[in-house]
Chains A and B, each alone.
Chain A
Amino acid sequence: MKLVSTALAITLAAFTVGAQAQQITGAGATFPAPVYAKWGEAAKAAIGIELNYQAIGSGGGQNQIINRTVDFGASDAPVDGAKLEQNHLLQFPTVMGAVVPIVNLPGVEANKLKLPSELLADIYLGKITKWNDPRLVEANRDVKLPNVAIAPVYRADGSGTTFVFTSYLSAVSPDWKAQVGAATSVKWAAGNGAKGNDGVAATVKQVRGAIGYVEYAYAKQNKLATTQLRNKAGQFVSPTLAAFTAAADAGDWHNAPNFAVNLIDTAGTEAWPIVSATFILLPKNPVDPERSANVMKFFDFAFKNGDEIATSLDYIALPAGVKDAVRASWHADIRGPGLAAIWK
């Protein structure tokens, strides 16, 4: 007992000393966690703001900021206007990312396989079951496709990646839209589930004939074979940073309420068709204006200095005009005591 109370006294004494000044806490989407961590490292050195970002998932991020247990929330799927209004939240984008199909087909090199969008949908609908299906052969005259069964792999857990991927399939395939639709988890017509981007990547790696979809970083880091997709302009494009940026530039940012821009299947000729932004949720009436100001300072720093970091981790930085629009919305909507603007 004596030991216990001594230990308690020592720990309490040690912890009252270590208070921190400029810490901000955020929680939410898993997808941007690496880039936020990297921005946090840079911001700590440059402007003395320590970011603690915890990847608890988009749904968790929305709930935590609604309950005001964190300084900001993060979500891959944009939150709808009514919900933002009801909870006094401002939504803004930070970076964009791409979702890419990955395949395991021995003898077929990365980015050689061309997948017309309707065929990708039919594979996941279970209508195309062999890699040497005449329609696939037709689209890939220069590739020798083996007589191997197609094993589609999808995310078993609810995920923003699935939302983006199924949004794309819904946009390009009326059948898909009617039968399955777009959501963070859907009723899959064919294939097997795996948990997380890493689970899908691992399964595709192991199963001959498998096809899956992951965030681009997972395909690149795991050296998985990606494919070409046909975009809205009818061009076949490979997943490259240039193609992702083209999609971001083609987005209609100015008419999107709450920055909830749709970057799926945009019109650019070079654009990769499956791109999406990830969002931050910030209270319009923060409990602690100083912490809220630090959150905005942090993302302002990231917007100014973080593009290279984002690119190095395979994210796509926001266009400059969008960053300015985000700053303007901070100034207009986030109010401290006496309704004074916190962001000047």
Chain B
Amino acid sequence: MSTTMGPAGRMPASGPTRDRRVADMLSRRRKWFDRVVQALCIAATVIGLVLLASILFTLLWRGVGALGLHVFTRSTLPPGSHGGLLNAIVGSLVQTLAGTAIGTPIGLMVGTYLSEYARNSVLGNAVRFVSDVLLSAPSILIGLFVYTILVEPFGGFSGIAGCVALAIIVVPIVVRTTEDMLRLIPTELREAAVAVGAPKWRVIVLICYRAALDGIATGILLAVARVAGETAPLLFTSLGNLNWSLSLTQPMSSLPVTIYQYAGSAFDDWVDLAWAGALLITFGVLALNIVARVMLRPRS
């Protein structure tokens, strides 16, 4: 381009024509390049969607066929005895709920500390960093950690160990969302509350929490969705249980572990139950995600 703008305008007369030609060429090239990139992006999207759709389709195809009332009314049984998944479903619910119940208050308070008390402090930054590392830690490591502190010393696998492992996964997720949501609240709001004489704790509880409620609740739901499908931390902690058991001091069954063990079995009824369980978890988690999204949507 700069060649046409030569010193003292001593360029050939064909200057403007050449300019247009160059511009056309560049524009064609740009458009062509744009189209290629667009096509690549669409192709990538299609690949992603096809993968997702085929996973969901296979899951529906195999899972719905295997679903029946017996899945919800009977516990796991040996091959050929028409067992269900009752103990696994209940075990999963118990451990997910208890894990969330243990992890959420801790996560909430850490998130509050980071947002309200330690925005730029060294300790706050350190806590934030550790929490982020924990967020991306492989869940099997968390299982092994709980194994060494709660399973080995007490001489047995237990439901409570499973709950604690899940709680440790819940904490950093809730920390992150709580802190992010509280940070979104304008400082003016806090200042206004302080101006009318509210102490800091009242500002946090009555103003900040109330304003950030949707976001915080969404974070908790996402944490539930994340731990509901976890297999690795449960393998080393709650182990699994073939029988109906609600005792938190005994090994406890769970859907992901049952799927893990049944999916590779030689027996068709076990494999079918694995599909049914996978369908239940997937759609449970999907439903939670949808609820979370609806909650996050600004109210009209």
Q: Is the CB of A25 within 8 A of B267?
A: no
Interface presence of B65 (CB below 8 A): no
Interface presence of B241 (CB below 8 A): yes
Q: Is the CB of A34 within 8 A of B77?
A: no
Given A33-B265, A38-B80, A41-B77, 17 more contacts at CB 8 Å?
A: A4-B105, A8-B98, A17-B246, A19-B249, A25-B251, A34-B79, A52-B245, A53-B242, A54-B242, A69-B152, A70-B157, A195-B264, A196-B264, A221-B266, A221-B267, A287-B155, A313-B79
| Residues of B with C-beta under 8 A to A160 | none
Q: Give the nearest-CB partner of A214 in chain B.
A: B266
Residue numbers of B with Cβ under 8 A of A are 77-81, 94, 97-98, 101-102, 104-105, 151-152, 155-157, 159, 235, 239-243, 245-251, 257, 261, 263-268, 270-271
Interface presence of A103 (CB below 8 A): no
Residue numbers of A with Cβ under 8 A of B are 1, 4, 7-8, 11, 14-15, 17-20, 23, 25, 27, 30, 33-34, 37-38, 40-41, 44, 50-56, 67-70, 195-199, 201, 215, 217-218, 220-222, 287, 313
Given known A-B contacts A1-B105, A37-B78, A287-B155, A52 and B264 have beta carbons under 8 A apart: no
- Which of B159, B265, B270 gathers most chain A CB within 10 Å? B265
Closest 4 CB pairs of A and B: A18-B246, A38-B78, A37-B78, A196-B264
Least Cβ–Cβ distance between A215 and chain B, in angstroms: 7
Q: Is the CB of B250 within 8 A of A20?
A: yes
Given known A-B contacts A4-B104, A221-B267, A11 and B151 have beta carbons under 8 A apart: no
The main secondary structure of chain B at its interface with chain A is loop
In the bound assembly, the distance between CA atoms of A17 and B249 in angstroms comes to: 12
Q: Which of B77, B246, B251, B266 contacts A198 (CB 8 A)?
A: B266
Q: Is the CB of A197 within 8 A of B264?
A: yes
Least Cβ–Cβ distance between A77 and chain B, in angstroms: 19
Q: Is the CB of B243 within 8 A of A52?
A: yes
Least Cβ–Cβ distance between A261 and chain B, in angstroms: 25
Least Cβ–Cβ distance between A303 and chain B, in angstroms: 18
| Residues of A with C-beta under 8 A to B247 | 15, 18-20
Least Cβ–Cβ distance between A264 and chain B, in angstroms: 22
| Residues of A with C-beta under 8 A to B151 | 69
In the bound assembly, the distance between CA atoms of A56 and B242 in angstroms comes to: 13
Q: Is the CB of A54 within 8 A of B240?
A: yes
| Residues of A with C-beta under 8 A to B102 | 8
In the bound assembly, the distance between CA atoms of A38 and B80 in angstroms comes to: 9
Q: Is the CB of B156 within 8 A of A69?
A: yes
Q: Is the CB of A8 within 8 A of B243?
A: no
Given known A-B contacts A11-B101, A19-B247, A52-B243, A69 and B268 have beta carbons under 8 A apart: no
Q: Is the CB of B264 within 8 A of A217?
A: no
In the bound assembly, the distance between CA atoms of A217 and B104 in angstroms comes to: 46
Q: Give the nearest-CB partner of B163 in chain A.
A: A11
In the bound assembly, the distance between CA atoms of A54 and B157 in angstroms comes to: 11
- What would 12 A/B residue contacts be, using CB atoms closer than 8 Å? A1-B105, A20-B247, A25-B156, A34-B267, A38-B80, A41-B77, A51-B243, A52-B243, A54-B257, A69-B157, A198-B271, A201-B266
| Residues of B with C-beta under 8 A to A4 | 101, 104-105
Q: Which of A18, A198, A313 contacts B264 (CB 8 A)?
A: A198
Q: Is the CB of B157 within 8 A of A34?
A: no
In the bound assembly, the distance between CA atoms of A67 and B78 in angstroms comes to: 28
Q: Which of A7, A17, A27, A51 contacts B101 (CB 8 A)?
A: A7
Q: Is the CB of B245 within 8 A of A20?
A: yes
Q: Is the CB of B266 within 8 A of A197?
A: yes
